[in-house]
Structures are given as C-alpha cells and as structure tokens.
C-alpha cells in the first residue's frame, strides 16, 4: 500500500513539475498591471506608508505565483518580507516565509525552501501556536526527506506528530503519519513504516467519516427546508381554498339578490348579469388552478432535487466504503506478512542473543577479577556497566616482579620478569575504551586484553612503550597499513612502582585524574588513539610521571560516564561535573564511592534516557607507602 501511495505522490509531483517547467504566459495587460502595482508599492514605501506597501507587495507576488512566474514571485515576496521586518509584523513574516518555502519547493530548491521554513518555525515557536508549529515542522521534514537527510526529517516529523497529538488535530496527524511512513520506508524500517501508514489510513478514514457526516447533516438541513417550504405551500393552498369558499358564499348571496331582482328586471338583463358572473367565477377558478399547478410543480422539482442529492451522496458513500474495504484487505494481507516476518526475526533474535550471551561469558572469563585487584590494592573499585550484553570497554591489570620477588609469596597471576631488578615489584592497570560497543567493541576488547598480556610478559613495563607496541600490533593485526580502518582504542595506563609513591602514566586521548590533599589534578593523554588512522611517520606516546607523598585517590575511566545524557534539561554529564563529584566523595571508602557513582549515574539518566555507551570507572586509593601483595591468591 505504501508503494501505491508513493506512486500516486510521484505522479502528482510529476504533473506539478510539468506545470512548473512550462509556466503560464502572463498576458501583456496583466504584466503591465502588475508592474504598475509594484511602482505604486514602492511609492507608498518611500512615503512611509509601509502597511499599504506591504499589502500591495503581497497581492502582486501572489499574482506572479498563481500565473507561474515563480522567480518574479520570490523576488517580490522578499521585498514584502523587508517591509514586514521594518513593521515588526510577525504574522505577515511567517506567511511570507511559508510562501517563499513553497515556491522554492515548486522550484525543487529544497535547501532554500528549508531555510525559509526554519524562519517561519522560529516565529511560530515564539508565538507558541502548536498547530502552526506542527504544520511548519512537517514542511521542514518534507524538505529534508527530498534532500535525502532522513534522520533530520524523522526528528522534525516526530516533533510535529507529538504536537498534532496534543492538539488532537486529525488533518495534521494524517499528514505527519503519511510522511513518517515514507521516511521509515526510506530508512529501511518497514515495520515502523507500516505502523505509521496504518495510522495514516485510520485518520484518513476518520476525516472521510466526518466529511460524510457533515454532508449528511447538510442534506438533512435541505430536506428540512424543503419540508418547511412544502408546509408553507400547503398553508397557502388552504388560504386560497378558504378565499374561494368566501367568494362562492358571496356569489350565492349575489345569486339570491339576482333572484329577487328577477321579478323586477327583465329576463334578458338577468341572463347577461349571470353570464358575466359566471365568466368572472370561471376566470378566478382558472387562476386558482394555475396557482395550484405551479405549487405542485415546485414541490415535485424540490423533491426530485433532494432525491438526486441523496442518491449522489449514497453512491459516493458506497464507493468510499468499497475503497476502504479494499484498503482493509491489503492491510490485513500486509499484517499477515509482517507476522511471518516477525516470527523469523524472533527466531533470529533468539539465536543471536544466545551467541552474544556466550560471548559475554568468554569476555568475563578473560577479564581479571576484582579479588585479584584487592589482593594488591585493597581499597579500590571497578564500576563496569556495558551498554549491551558484551562491552567495548575493558579493564586490565597485573602485578610484575623480579626473580627474588617470585621466590617469596606473590600473587598467582604475577608476571615474573628476568630483565628487571630481582627485587623490583610494581603494578600496571589500564582502563580502555575500544571503538564501538556491543559485539564489535567486544572483539576489539579481546584483542586488547591478549596484546597487553603478551607485551608485558615480553618484558615491556614502561607505559609509553607499552602503548607504542600496542599501537603497532593493533595496526598490524587489523591490516590498517593497507586500508582506511579507524578501529582502535582510547585508554589510560599507569604503572605504580613498588615504593608506592612514583606513578608513571601514558594515555591515548584519555586522562588520569588524582586527588590529594582535597585538590584535584588531571594529566591529559596524547590526542591520538591506539590503532586507527596514522598520518605521522611514527606514533610515539608520551611518558608522564608524578609523585605522591600523602594518601591519594587515582581514577581511570572511559568517556561513557561523562557523555551520558540526562538531568532535567537532557544534557551531557560533562567532565567538569564528573570531577566535582569525585572531589565530593573521594574521602569515602572506595566501595562507597562506587555506590555513590552508581546512584548518581542512575538518577542522571533516569527512565527518560537510555544508556548511550559502555561505562567504565576504576578507582584506587594509594597511601604513598611501599606496597606488597596481600596474602590472597599467592604462591610460595
């Protein structure tokens, strides 16, 4: 059905474009008259009569438009807009901007049409006229659709539909659902397109029913008027018959008088008088008969007219019902097709969900555990909230040590290195945000987890060198030297040396934030990612070192928390608000900090906004003292 409507719209568009391509020729007389009107408007404008000039400009522009001279019409409307702006006449301006938008639609210059519709929308929003706002939004959505900008078209048309629902305006609802059906069809969302088209058909039927009811009411009104006229005619007939009876009584009286005179006058005179009276009575009766005949003719004509009108409306209604029945059959057939498609989609969705759940278990198995983290840093937390079942964000950490450390108690997963001081012990931790989220992001996260382990086990423990090697390995694995792939990772990586005071940091777009003595510090990473497009000859990340001498809270995170939309105005949480929150809660134990972060995040997005990205925040409290692994998860 959508295709049928689309073909009908295309046919109308073709005929309309044909009329634009071959505009009507303005007669010399009309052309001279319009030019004279423009001269008069310019004189009124120069004399300060702006209202008079505005009226003439509008009428002249409309005449050019109606007669097919769109270019001249747009120029004159622009002159009218200039005068209306000087008068600050907002109502005139929005009408002019709408007409200009329509003209540019006729000319298929949709970008210009959109610009004037936007100006009209701004005025309508200021006046808070919802029906006019909705109508203008539909015009703007139509231009975006013609320009192929379907997402913008969807946004404007959805807002128009919401306002039409608030106003309960059936015509605006019909127009908005019709346009939404076309937009969703263009976006490939056949399900939503069918839903919108069903609503469009429902409102079309509603409007047709209302129009039929209106026409039925008009027909009833005509019948009632005819009945009134018929009653008036009957009354008039009764009065005429009464008048005839009175005249007959008069004649009877005259007849009696004549009988009395008969004895006095001659028989011949009596016959003449009687003949004259009979002739007069005959003429009166003939007149009455003609009047009655004319009355009946009028009654019969009125009755036949009403019957014809009622028959016409009945035939029209029957045709409309037949058309609606055809549409209903088509919609039911489409509904059956959609149900079959829905069953297939549900099965596919079930299979996909099972696969994703399996991928989640694999990803969780690869990630290090929270117990492993607290075995080295007891006061810490990991807030990990994937947007979907699997995540494109991931965290990685591990401790490392020399040969002497390996001989004593140490974490079971500690990496033993030969190329470092035998007594050296340290801890590496990273928060990583891979390109994308869901399944694509999860693939990247598994690549990152594996490469980080391999790089560190090979003896590279300096953060900047780890990022350099990780960048080289990602580009090699994804063959990015030979394609335009931009897949990569944003991350922050720190190394905490065994003295517990010296911290080394390297970042790919992401920073590290630490709070000491109630003061918040941010160290930014390099403005380039790991992997992805590389324009420079060689990418090297920067090593940054800072020292702490008192208890300090260190935070690593992805951009999911900061970029979350929410709050009363639907804005992003922002980096500034995030740091203020960390300063507010940093003195609490890390577990309580995590609870506070979780609560604030849920309250911010509430039920109005869905989670837009994976969220990862890692918090550590360092006491600026040499740290050693806890006796949990150790080998001896």
Residue 47 burial (CB count, 10 A) = 10
| Least confident range of 69-73, 300-304, 394-398, 630-634 | 630-634
The reported pLDDT for the residue numbered 9 is 39
| Least confident range of 245-254, 268-277, 470-479, 624-633 | 624-633
The reported pLDDT for the residue numbered 154 is 92
- Token code pair at residue 422: 């035998």
SS (H, E, C) 82-147: HHHHHHCCHHHHHHHHHHHHHHHHHCCCHHHHHHHHHHHHHHHHHHCCHHHHHHHHHHHHHHHHHC
Dist CA 564 CA 572 (whole Å): 5
Contact 568, 521 (CB under 8 A): no
Could you read off the pLDDT of 410-448 as tens digits, one per residue? 777 788 888 888 888 899 999 999 987 677 778 889 999
Per-residue pLDDT at 5 exceeds 50: no
The reported pLDDT for the residue numbered 15 is 35
Q: Could you tell me which residues come within 8 angstroms of residue 482 by beta carbon, excluding any fewer than 6 positions away?
A: none
Sign of the dihedral defined by the CA atoms of residues 356, 357, 362, 363, in that order: positive
Residue 380, beta-bridge partner list: 620
Task: Give the CA angle between residues 627, 632, 634 to the nearest 5°.
Answer: 85
The reported pLDDT for the residue numbered 20 is 41
Contact 501, 570 (CB under 8 A): no
The reported pLDDT for the residue numbered 215 is 79
Determine what percent of the chain is predicted with pLDDT higher than 70: 91
Could you read off the pLDDT of 92-137 as tens digits, one per residue? 999 999 999 999 999 999 999 999 999 999 999 998 888 899 999 9
Dist CA 161 CA 135 (whole Å): 10
Task: Provide mean pLDDT across the span 140-150.
Answer: 92
The reported pLDDT for the residue numbered 226 is 67
Per-residue pLDDT at 357 exceeds 80: no
Dist CA 610 CA 605 (whole Å): 7
Q: What share of the chain is helix, strand, coil (3-state, %, to 5)?
A: 65, 15, 25
Contact 181, 158 (CB under 8 A): no
The reported pLDDT for the residue numbered 18 is 35
Q: What residue ranges do the domains of the chain occupy?
A: 2-207, 214-346, 371-635
Q: Could you tell me which residues come within 8 angstroms of residue 124 by beta carbon, excluding any fewer than 6 positions away?
A: 94, 132, 133, 136
Residue 213 burial (CB count, 10 A) = 10
The reported pLDDT for the residue numbered 139 is 93
Q: Among 3.40.30.110, 3.40.50.720, 3.60.40.10, 3.30.70.2190, name the CATH number for the domain at 371-635.
A: 3.60.40.10
* Mean pLDDT of all residues belonging to the chain: 85
Could you read off the pLDDT of 536-553 as tens digits, one per residue? 889 999 999 999 999 999
The domain defined by 2-207 folds into 1.25.40
Closest by CA position to 124, among listed 97, 157, 100: 97
Per-residue pLDDT at 347 exceeds 90: no
Higher pLDDT, 397 or 413: 397
Tokens 């609870």 found at: 595
């Amino acid at each position: 059905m959508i295709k049928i409507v689309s073909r009908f719209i295309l046919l109308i568009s073709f005929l309309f474009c044909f009329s634009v391509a071959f505009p009507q020729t303005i007669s010399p007389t009309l052309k001279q008259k319009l030019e004279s009107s423009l001269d008069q408007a310019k004189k009124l404008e120069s004399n300060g009569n702006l209202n008079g000039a505005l009226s003439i400009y509008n009428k002249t522009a409309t005449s050019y438009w109606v007669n097919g001279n769109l270019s001249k019409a747009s120029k004159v409307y622009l002159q009218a807009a200039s005068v209306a702006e000087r008068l600050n006449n907002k109502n005139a301006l929005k009408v002019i901007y709408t007409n200009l938008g329509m003209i540019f639609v006729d000319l298929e210059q949709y970008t210009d049409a959109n610009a004037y519709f936007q100006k009209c929308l701004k005025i309508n929003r200021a006046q808070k006229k919802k029906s006019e706002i909705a109508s203008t939004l539909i015009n703007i959505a139509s231009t975006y659709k013609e320009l192929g900008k379907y997402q913008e078209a969807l946004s404007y048309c959805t807002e128009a539909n919401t306002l039409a629902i608030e106003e309960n305006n059936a015509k605006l609802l019909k127009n908005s659902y019709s346009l939404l059906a076309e937009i969703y069809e263009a976006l490939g969302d056949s399900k939503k397109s069918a839903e919108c088209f069903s609503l469009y058909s429902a409102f079309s039927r509603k409007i047709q029913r209302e129009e039929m009811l209106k026409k039925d009411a008009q027909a009833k009104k005509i019948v009632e008027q005819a009945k009134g006229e018929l009653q008036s005619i009957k009354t008039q007939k009764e009065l005429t018959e009464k008048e005839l009876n009175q005249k007959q009584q008069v004649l009877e009286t005259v007849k009696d008088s004549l009988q009395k005179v008969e004895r006095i006058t001659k028989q011949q005179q009596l016959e003449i008088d009687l003949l004259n009276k009979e002739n007069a009575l005959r003429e009166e009766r003939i007149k009455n008969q003609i009047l009655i005949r004319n009355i009946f003719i009028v009654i019969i004509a009125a009755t036949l007219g009403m019957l014809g009108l009622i028959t016409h409306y009945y035939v029209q209604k029957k045709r409309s019902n037949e058309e609606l029945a055809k549409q209903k059959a088509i919609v039911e057939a489409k509904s059956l097709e959609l149900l079959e498609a829905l069953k297939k989609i549900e099965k596919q969705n079930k299979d996909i969900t099972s696969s994703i759940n399996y991928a989640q278990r694999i990803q969780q198995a690869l990630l290090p555990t929270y117990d492993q983290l607290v075995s080295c840093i007891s006061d810490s937390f990991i807030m990990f909230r994937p947007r979907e079942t699997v995540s494109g964000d991931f965290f990685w950490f591990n401790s490392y040590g020399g040969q002497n450390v390996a001989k004593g108690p140490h974490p079971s997963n500690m990496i033993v290195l030969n190329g470092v001081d035998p007594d050296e012990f340290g801890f590496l931790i990273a928060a990583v945000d891979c390109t994308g989220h869901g399944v694509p992001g999860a693939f990247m996260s598994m690549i990152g987890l594996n490469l980080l382990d391999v790089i560190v086990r090979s003896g590279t423990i300096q953060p900047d060198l780890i990022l350099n090697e990780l960048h080289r390995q990602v580009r090699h694995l994804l063959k990015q030297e030979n394609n335009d792939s931009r897949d990569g990772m944003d991350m922050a990586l720190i190394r905490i040396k065994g003295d517990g005071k010296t911290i080394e940091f390297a970042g790919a777009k992401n920073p590290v934030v630490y709070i000491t003595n109630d003061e918040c510090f941010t160290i930014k990473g390099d403005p380039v990612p790991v992997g992805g497009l590389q324009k420079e000859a060689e990418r090297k990340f920067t090593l940054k070192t800072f020292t702490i001498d008192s208890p300090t809270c260190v935070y690593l995170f992805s951009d999911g928390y900061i970029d979350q939309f929410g709050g009363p105005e639907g804005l992003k949480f922002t980096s500034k608000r995030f740091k203020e929150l960390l300063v507010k809660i940093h003195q609490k134990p890390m577990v309580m900090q995590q609870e506070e972060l979780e609560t604030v995040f849920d309250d911010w997005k509430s039920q109005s906004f869905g989670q837009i990205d994976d969220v990862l925040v890692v918090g550590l409290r360092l006491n600026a003292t040499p740290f050693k692994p806890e006796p949990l998860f150790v080998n001896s």
